[in-house]
Amino acid sequence: MERKLAHGRASTAGCGPRRTHSERVEMGRSAGRPRGSRTSRTRPACLQPESHSASKADRRPRSAPPPGASSPARSIGMIDEELMERTQGPGGAAGDDASPVSACEVRRLGVASSFAEGAQKLSEALREVSFNRPTEASGIIRLEVAIPREGDTIGWLRKQATAVAAAFPIVYFSPKSSTFGEGLRSCADGGQLEDFSNASGGSSDCEVGCVGSTCLWRGPAEGPFTEESHARVSRFLRPGEESVRAYGGIRFDPKRRPAEEWRDFGAYTFLIPSVELRTSPSHSVLSLNVAWDNLRARVEGETIDSIDDALAKGHSMLASVSGGKVGSRAPVDVGPSETCEDPARPRWDPLVGSVLGEMGKMTKLVLARRSRVLCESPVDPLHLLACLQDQDRKGYQFCLLLGRDKAFFGSTPERLYARSGSRVVSEAVAATRRASADSSVTEDLLTSEKEHNEFIVVRDAVKQALESLCPEVEIEVEKQVLKHVSVQHLYGRLSGRITSGKNDFHLLDALHPTPAVAGYPCDESVRSLASMETFDRGFYSGPFGWISGQSSEFAVAIRSALTRSSEEGNELMMYAGVGIVEGSKPALEWKELDLKVQ
């Protein structure tokens, strides 16, 4: 796959230059805003601490509006734990794709005793924003409040999907569990896994549910995610700020024209959510994002509102969302179904044989299979996702729901990378055996020459990709066994620090696709797959995750599925792949595909 780099240089993902505390105070005074107040109470764990805080001299309480005042209530000024940060820069010029937006602001409104009270606090804060309407041409304002833990984020999203008119798109993302890191720590030297589990700024403790979008970017057909694409997204993400995130994914092969079932997803889809719920083991954080650009020329696939429309959308969303959940997490029964596989079993053996005949050009090629199921009953992707999560809480779970009948979702064991500041961690995952309590199965996986060779190809390719961006790369875990609900794999972990001037675009460009999902050499493998695979992978085996100004995390979207309604009925398309190397047996590889879609 050719690497796509725009000629222009990507933005460093900011909203103007970082300012000192005194500069921000003076900016606040000149804008006519009173100084904020806050207490020293501990911040919620899944919120990143601000790098600057107000001095005691600047912590003066604001005065409340007089009784009967006609202006909206300015309760945000009286909330105990408010934090308001604002930066302004020269960016935001109309039509300048790489220019940071003119204003970024994060307001943390303390703690509420319930979801309803939290939503009310957000509404009051948004009324103040509307009353003191921002004058900048472009910007983003984020309002946050901590609330008691919403125990079932997927159930909460299911409720919003049926109750909120503007709920779509919906995103769900849950990183690898902390127990996964603890389980591997006993296999590693020096406790290295502690850094690994926290590599993305603590996100391993927070699952995320997103409702609606305040910004949305969708790549045109055959339009890869370029440096310019990244700049359009990152202009809303201030360097060093963890709170504001863009969520989304990229096609496995963006240069390939999407098939009809994937057309609405574009070559890539990223969004900054309108309403966001982050849940840690101890509590949740409910947030509203309001982004706007009044002057920007319209770009195909990009949806960014004016300030008036953005504020109106924010008020509407807060009036519609509610706490609680709907539906059960019991196993799904979609009624009688019909399954069609591509490639079909009779075609599989000759296809693998032709790949083995090309082993002089390639050392590995990953062939995928699509299992298309026609269901009698409508398919609820969030219900299916909840069932997958209950089966395997060690891996990532993710979902991009474009409408009630169109979603991409999955449960994957594989991380593409996680970044915190300049530090990046990636993985090599390859070779498969069925999960078993029998230690001989694991021992066979560890000692098999065929599986070892397949694993080394992946690990060396990941190392080479990181070395193109990092002065030094450390192999923290040479080779271990990664166990999941139905399968186990060989696993390695690598880390480094990316050089100054490199960003998430460069990481995505260097690391995707890995030999674990394409083959080796990667470019030759992708070209071969375009002619051998008769279906469109779409977002299957592509990167799926999030980007902020401080951190990022992307899973490899394998073990995934697409749901949609068509003229033929309710469709569920499941995807899985196997690595074909010297010595592969077609019948055994077919059984491995069956294992991966169980």
What string of pLDDT tens digits covers the 598 residues of the chain?
434 433 333 333 344 443 443 343 333 333 333 333 333 333 333 333 343 333 333 333 333 333 333 333 333 333 333 333 433 333 444 445 568 999 999 999 999 999 999 999 999 999 999 999 999 999 999 999 999 998 799 999 999 999 888 899 999 999 986 433 433 333 332 223 333 333 333 345 699 999 999 999 999 987 889 999 999 999 999 999 999 999 999 999 998 999 999 999 999 999 999 999 999 989 999 999 999 999 876 778 899 999 999 999 999 999 999 999 887 777 767 666 788 999 999 999 999 999 999 888 899 999 999 999 999 888 999 999 999 999 888 899 999 999 988 999 999 999 999 999 999 999 999 998 988 888 888 999 999 999 999 999 999 999 999 999 999 999 999 999 998 878 899 999 999 999 999 999 999 999 999 999 999 999 999 999 999 999 999 999 999 999 999 999 999 999 999 999 988 889 999 999 999 998 899 999 999 999 888 7
**Phi, psi values for residue 560, rounded to 5°:** -130, 170
| Residue 158 tokens, joined | 């299911």
Taking Cα atoms as reference points, which of 246, 244, 249, 169 lies closest to residue 212?
A: 169
Cis peptide before 513 (omega within 30 of 0): yes
pTM: 0.82
Q: Strands 138-147 and 103-111: what pairing?
A: parallel
User: How far apart, in Å, are the Cα atoms of 449 and each of 95, 228, 290, 365, 515?
Assistant: 55, 43, 54, 17, 18
Helices (H), 392-483: 439-447, 449-467
DSSP track, 485-525:
SSEEEEEEEEEEEPPTT--HHHHHHHHSSPTTTSEESHHHH
Residue 95 belongs to what H/E stretch? none
The reply to whether omega before 169 is within 30° of 0 (cis) is yes
Residues of the chain with CATH 3.60.120.10: 337-396+404-596
CA distances from 161 to 211, 325, 572 (A): 8, 11, 19
Q: Which residues contact 32 (CB under 8 A, 6 or more apart)?
A: none
CB 166 within 8 A of CB 212: yes
- The span from the CA of 468 to the CA of 446, in Å, is 29
In words, the CATH class of domain 337-396+404-596 is: alpha beta
- Only one residue has tokens 């503007």, namely 166
Q: How far apart are CA 598 and CA 593, in angstroms?
A: 9
Residue with token string 């009809």: 260
**DSSP code string of 233-289:** HHTTS-TT--S-EEEEEE-SSTTSPPPGGGGGG-SEEEEEEEEEEEE-SS-EEEEEE
Which amino acid belongs to residue 91?
Answer: G
Q: Return the active site residues.
A: 364, 414
